[in-house]
Amino acid sequence: MLEVKELAISFYSREEKTWSEAVHKVSFKLAKGKVLGIVGESGSGKSVTSFSIMRLHDSKNTDIKGTIELDNISILKLSDNEIRNYRGNKMAMIFQEPMTSLNPVFTCGFQVQEAIMLHQKVGKDVAKAQTIALFNEVQLPRPENIFESYPHQLSGGQKQRVMIAMALSCNPELLIADEPTTALDVTVQKTILELLLRLKDERNMGLIFITHDLAVISEIADELLVMYKGNIVEQGPAKQLFENPQHPYTKGLLACRPAPQRRLKRLPVVADFLNEDKAIGVKHLLDINSFTDQEIAQRRHELYSQPPLLQVQNLCTWYPIKKGLFGKTTDYVKAVDNISFDVFPGETLGLVGESGCGKTTLGRSILRLVEPTSGNIIFDGENLSELGKADLRKMRKDVQIIFQDPYSSLNPKVTVGNAIMEPLQVHGIFKNDKERKAHVLSLLEKVNLNVDHFDRYPHEFSGGQRQRIVIARALALKPRFIICDESVSALDVSVQAQVLNLLRELQQEFGLTYIFISHDLAVVKHISDRMIVMNKGKIEEEGFPEIIYNAPKAAYTKKLIDAIPGKKELI
């Protein structure tokens, strides 16, 4: 159905006035009813390749060589009007971030209805009926209500389903899914993957599934391409590549995802495999990095034989639901509902659950970034619930937070050096800015960034580098306690491994205590000493990670574990 031959894509830089090649002589085929997985890190060329199939690149600044044929028609030779007819009717794409792909000022139903009217030349009523039928097909709850809802009123998984419905609206032969499950809860991710496979079988479509996560692709792909720096480094049947990877880069991608069956001191990273002088076998690398039972027992004895650093007692954070003419409170959203637990010095407490379970609200309530409704938060013997603004500001030297999206938590107009230095100025730490800058430069090196990054702006960094910047900012005041809120959820698995390793190294060096919040149970199990599973504002269960993973008591926890992609070790 689809054949790509010797595809090479270059982009023109107006600043440097040079062409740079992003994809180098890529070739592959896809048959109807089959799934082709394209996997690689950010910058590997996988999305660029898919955009060229859809002809979505800016033609003035893009040079595309090679051939792309869909049903023996050359896509690259079609006129602009002809390719518009192909998009939607013959091929469609699900983009990575549904919130930026959907227009915020139109209802979800109108946007899908418009696509049907445009391509199928049918009336408004027929298009609406088809839209609601599609919403049913992608298993959206209350399709008539979703039709009238705006994108911001839907959850991440629901928005992704609307995008799938839009992509399917004109019965395409080829569907391209570009990172459609990144940053989704594992349970939502599982349902999206199952949905795509079911629709592919029912409609006999060809599906290209693009991701950075080999565990995800292991669940659905027939054939696999592994891309690195614009080249295909390995391709073949998916089962064969998982069982016997040949290229060091493929081995690295497989190894750097946290393996639920092991307790590792340090996650392998891609560089461990690409460096030929130091490259060793995956199994040996995992074996030498695994904690022994004796080491785990010793750490637990040291942690839990001391008094807790943080005590959360009967904490509630409720939001009033107001209705009626005078805004009378009729009920409450109980985001955090009567929660109690302790955190011990030097411990990492994992907090896991789906979006909306209350874990982020709990983290912010502890810091009083969100004011709790009731309960006590006792940090090092002091009740934070009773502190005034001045005392609360002083306390924040010791308690910091790393937010989920590093880009939105950094001021785009402030250099990263000044962003890290600002809290030092606010709290009057060090005598002058010269001493503060020296401290910031040492922090940049500590998180594996360069000193010349001090004068750069956030947009000049990759996602992984920005995450390191906000970690450096959290460390600037020499805190004792850090809340990490979904701090690796949207990163490539290889970059995620580097950041998780960095957090553990910093904990050992500075004696840090963490609450690590995530929807990814495999990641939480890897980094945590103890785990709390949250659901609907309450604690479902808590305990040591391996006990919860191997013998979950709550049905909700079992559902989270069953949804982890690639639960079996891929190596």
Class of domain 32-45+90-255: alpha beta
| Lookup: tokens for 218 | 């292991």
Residue with tokens 């669940």: 219
Mean pLDDT of 508-521: 93
C-beta neighbour count of 328 within 10 angstroms: 10
Mean pLDDT of 126-139: 91
Instruction: Please answer whether residues 362 and 534 qualify as being in contact, where contact means their C-beta atoms are separated by less than 8 angstroms.
Output: yes
Rounded Cα–Cα distance for residues 148 and 366 (Å): 37
**Confidence band (pLDDT; 50, 70, 90) for 184?**
confident
Mean pLDDT of 367-371: 94
Confidence at residue 508, expressed as pLDDT on a 0 to 100 scale:
94
DSSP-assigned beta bridge partners for residue 534: 539
**60-74 burial code (b ≥16 CB/10 A, e <16):** eebebebebbbeeee
Confidence at residue 41, expressed as pLDDT on a 0 to 100 scale:
86
**Confidence band (pLDDT; 50, 70, 90) for 570?**
very low
Confidence at residue 278, expressed as pLDDT on a 0 to 100 scale:
53
Confidence at residue 156, expressed as pLDDT on a 0 to 100 scale:
73
C-beta neighbour count of 438 within 10 angstroms: 11
Q: 40 vs 43, which has greater pLDDT?
A: 40
Residues 6+ apart with CB under 8 A from 293: none
CA distances from 132 to 114, 139, 180, 473 (A): 13, 11, 22, 47
Rounded Cα–Cα distance for residues 530 and 176 (Å): 40
Mean pLDDT of 316-340: 85
CA distances from 556 to 128, 260, 333, 338, 541 (A): 36, 18, 20, 19, 10
| Lookup: tokens for 186 | 């594992």
Phi and psi angles of residue 37, each rounded to the nearest 5 degrees, phi first: -95, 130
Instruction: Please answer whether residues 8 and 21 qualify as being in contact, where contact means their C-beta atoms are separated by less than 8 angstroms.
Output: yes
Confidence at residue 571, expressed as pLDDT on a 0 to 100 scale:
41
The residue type found at 420 is I
Share of the chain above pLDDT 70, in %: 96
Mean pLDDT of 383-392: 92
Q: Which of 301, 296, 300, 256 is CA-nearest to residue 274?
A: 256
- Does residue 290 carry a pLDDT above 90? no
Rounded Cα–Cα distance for residues 418 and 401 (Å): 18
- Does residue 220 carry a pLDDT above 70? yes
**Confidence band (pLDDT; 50, 70, 90) for 464?**
confident
Q: Outline where DSSP puts E strands in 56-116.
A: 62-70, 73-74, 91-94
DSSP-assigned beta bridge partners for residue 37: 209, 224
Instruction: Please answer whether residues 343 and 308 qualify as being in contact, where contact means their C-beta atoms are separated by less than 8 angstroms.
Output: yes
Mean pLDDT of 69-94: 90
| Lookup: tokens for 27 | 């070739």
Confidence at residue 43, expressed as pLDDT on a 0 to 100 scale:
82
**Confidence band (pLDDT; 50, 70, 90) for 252?**
confident
Instruction: Please answer whether residues 553 and 384 qualify as being in contact, where contact means their C-beta atoms are separated by less than 8 angstroms.
Output: no
- Chain centroid offset of residue 203 CA: 29
Rounded Cα–Cα distance for residues 417 and 432 (Å): 15
Confidence at residue 97, expressed as pLDDT on a 0 to 100 scale:
72
Instruction: Please answer whether residues 482 and 507 qualify as being in contact, where contact means their C-beta atoms are separated by less than 8 angstroms.
Output: no
- Does residue 253 carry a pLDDT above 80? yes
Please give the model's pTM, rounded to 2 decimal places.
Answer: 0.85
Mean pLDDT of the chain: 89
CA distances from 78 to 54, 83, 170 (A): 11, 6, 20
Q: What is the pLDDT of residues 292-302, one digit of tens each?
A: 889 999 999 99
- Does residue 440 carry a pLDDT above 50? yes
Q: 184 vs 349, which has greater pLDDT?
A: 349
**Confidence band (pLDDT; 50, 70, 90) for 487?**
confident
Rounded Cα–Cα distance for residues 455 and 414 (Å): 9
E strand or H helix that includes residue 19: strand 18-30
Helices (H), 427-483: 433-446, 463-475
Least confident of 250-259, 273-282, 462-471: 273-282
Residue with tokens 């349902």: 191
Rounded Cα–Cα distance for residues 157 and 183 (Å): 10
